Amino acid sequence: MDEFVQHLRAAYQSPAAKQIASQKLGNRKQGLHEPVTAYYTDIIRLCKTLDDRMTDTSKLDHLQRCLKPSLTKEVLRKKPITPTEFLEYAREEEVLNQLVNANESDYTEQQLDKQIRVQEFTNQPPYNYSSSNAPYQPRYTSSYCYPTPPSPSANRPPSPYYTKLSSITSSCSLLL
């Protein structure tokens, strides 16, 4: 059966297919977020297109050459002999990296959450009794207005609150 498939491929394969596969294989790198199984499948497919009888050693060379850096060190440390072993080791390492990154992500999310809560607390005004932004106005009316002592900042230009307060006191003097 294997020989039959090889004859079919040879008969129906375009003449440029091997050249294209060779170029793709030479330029193929594992993407930063690409799963190792997708990378492995693509490299093995390109190897078969290039040469149906390619040795495991050559396939391993192609697989290891452009594996993403976060997996390369540990996979090479385990010294795979076959492409299947390579895939097994690379999957293990990928899962471990995902677990480590998930734990780091949880930690940074917790730290960020805590930092946001502290920031929200410190940015709140000290007293927030009223939900409106209207300036304070007394709820009682009296015909008597209390005199206010002169302010030490009398030489400063009046603030909007001072202007509002002076209009209240002037209306108070009209009542007298």
Look at residue 1 in the predicted model and tell me its pLDDT. 60
Q: How far apart are CA 43 and CA 66, in angstroms?
A: 10
Classified as helix, coil or strand, 17 is helix
Q: Please report which confidence band the pLDDT of residue 51 belongs to, taking 50, 70 and 90 as the band edges.
A: confident
Smallest CA-to-CA distance from 65 within 18, 29, 19 is with 29
How much is the average pLDDT of 20-39? 89
**Cα separation of the two ends of the chain:** 114
Q: How confident is the model at residue 102 (pLDDT cuts 50, 70, 90)?
A: confident
Is the per-residue pLDDT at 45 higher than 80?
Answer: yes
Q: Do 85 and 36 form a contact (C-beta atoms < 8 A)?
A: no
pLDDT over threshold 70, residue 101: yes
Does residue 15 sit in helix, strand or coil?
coil
Answer whether residue 142 shows pLDDT above 60. no
User: Domain residues of the chain, as ranges?
Assistant: 7-119
- pLDDT surpasses 60 at 85: yes
pLDDT over 90 at 92, yes or no: yes
If pLDDT is split at 50, 70 and 90, which confidence band does 67 have?
Answer: very high
Nearest-angstrom CA–CA distance, 25 and 66 = 10
Q: Which of 75-79, 122-126, 160-164 has the least mean pLDDT?
A: 122-126
Residue 166 clears pLDDT 70, i.e. is over it: no
Span 16-41, mean pLDDT? 88
Q: Which helix (H) or strand (E) holds 158?
A: none
CB crowding 69-103: b at 16 or more within 10 Å, else e: eebbeebeeeebeebeebbebbbebbeeeeeeeee
- To the question of pTM greater than 0.85 for the whole model, the response is no
Decide which of 83 and 151 is more confident: 83
Residue by residue, DSSP assigns 42-62 as HHHHHHHHH-TT--HHHHHHH
